[in-house]
Amino acid sequence: MRTLAEEPALIPAAGGVLWRTGPGGVLETAVVHRPKYDDWSLPKGKLDAGEHPLVAAVREVREETGLQVAVGRRSVQTRYAHRSGPKRVDYWVMQAVGGDFVPNDEVDVLRWLPVPAATALVSHDHDRAVLADLARTDVPLMPRVLLVRHASAGQRGSFDGPDEQRPLDRRGRAQSAVLTEVLPAFAPARLLSAPPVRCLETLAPLADALGLPVGEVPELGEAGFDADPQAGLATVQRLLAGDAGPGLTVVCSQGGAIPSVLLALGVRWHGTAGALWPPAAKGSVWAVGGSAGALSADYYRDFSADPAAPAGSPARTAAGRR
C-alpha cells in the first residue's frame, strides 16, 4: 500500500499548439510524430530547472520543430497519468513565423493539417482538448497589446527629486532584464511608454535588444489617465483594433492606469462576475487581444520558476538559450 509520502511528484511540462494560414485561408496546425512513443502529438516537453512554463514551451517547440514562433494567447492546461507519475502540461497558442523542420531524435515527422484532420490524427484525448481550444472563434489567437507595469523603483518617499524622475532600483533592473529576455517571444512590433523615467527605463533594454524606438503615451501615465481616462482607454482600444499597424505593441504604464483600463475592457480577475480589481504588480504583464465581449487577457505576475520545476541551477530564458 502506497503512503502519501510515496506518491510520485508532479511532472510539469509545457508546449505549443502551432498555427498558420493554409491554402484558401484554412487554419492549419502542426502535429508531430514521436518515434520513442510511436504516437502523434503536439510539441511539448518537461520544464528545466528554474523555468517558467512559457519559457519552457517556447524552448521545447524550437527544439522539437526548428520553427520560430510568436507567442499567442494562453491555451488549456492538461493533466494525465504518465508512466513516471502525474503530468501537467501548460500550452500556448503560437503562430509559426519562420524556420524549417529538421527531423531529430525526439520528432521524426511534422505535418501541417487543418484542425479537424489534426484532431483525428493525434493519439491522445488531452491533445484533442488543446486543438479544440485552438479552433475557438470567440477569442483571438494572438494578443495585440502587452500592458507592462513598470519594474520596481523603490519608495516614493525615499527619492529626493520629482517622482516622475524616480529610477529603477536594483530589483527593478533585474525585472527589466527578465522582461528583455522573455517578451521578444511575443514578437513586438512597437514599444510605447508612459512619461515617468521608471517606465522608460523598464523598456530601454528591450528597445536595445529589438532595435525599436520607444514612443511616449502620456495619456497612459497616471497623471494623464487621471486627467482624461477616456483618452487613455481610447489609445488602448485603437491598439487592440490594429490601428497602429500589424503586430503587437508593448505599453509600459503605471499601477493607477492599467487596472482601470482592464476593467473598462471587461476584464475581471479570476473570472468573477463582480468588478474585482485586476492585479498589476510591478514588472507584471497583461497580454490582451480582441475587444470587449470577445477579449483574451492573460496575466503574468512574473516569469519566475514554476514551483513544480526541478531544483537546480536556473535555466536561461527562452530568448537567452541557444
pLDDT in tens, 164-221: 999 999 999 999 999 999 999 999 999 999 999 999 999 999 999 999 999 999 999 9
Strands 145-149 and 285-291 come out as antiparallel
First to last CA, the chain: 45
All cell numbers assigned to 195: 512619461
Q: What is the pLDDT of residues 94-139, one digit of tens each?
A: 999 999 999 999 999 999 999 999 999 999 999 999 999 999 999 9
DSSP 291: E
Half-sphere exposure of 256 (CA within 13 A, CB side): 14
Find the length of the chain. 322
If you classify domain 4-134 with CATH, what class do you get? Answer: alpha beta
Burial environment of residue 183 by CB neighbours within 10 A (0 to 12, 13 to 18, 19 or more): buried
Would you state the pLDDT for residue 229? 97
Residues with Cβ within 8 Å of 61's Cβ and at least 6 positions away in sequence, in order, are: 15, 16, 18, 43, 67, 69, 94
Question: What's the rounded Cα separation, in Å, for the pair 129 and 77?
Answer: 9
Would you state the pLDDT for residue 273? 55
Query: Which residue ranges make up each domain of the chain?
Result: 4-134, 145-291
- In sequence order, the β-bridge partners of residue 16 are 92
Q: What is the pLDDT of residues 35-92, one digit of tens each?
A: 999 999 999 999 999 999 999 999 999 999 999 999 999 999 999 988 778 999 999 9
Task: Judge if pTM exceeds 0.85.
Answer: yes
Closest CA relative to residue 303, chosen from 170, 176, 194, 178? 178
Question: What's the rounded Cα separation, in Å, for the pair 244 and 212?
Answer: 15
DSSP 130: H
- Over residues 274-291, the mean pLDDT reads 89
Would you state the pLDDT for residue 157? 73
CATH number, domain 145-291, options 3.30.499.10, 3.40.50.1240, 1.20.120.1200, 3.40.605.10? 3.40.50.1240
Q: Yes or no: say if 260 and 229 are a contact pair by the CB < 8 Å rule.
A: yes
Would you state the pLDDT for residue 3? 52
Predicted confidence band of residue 223 (pLDDT cuts 50, 70, 90): very high
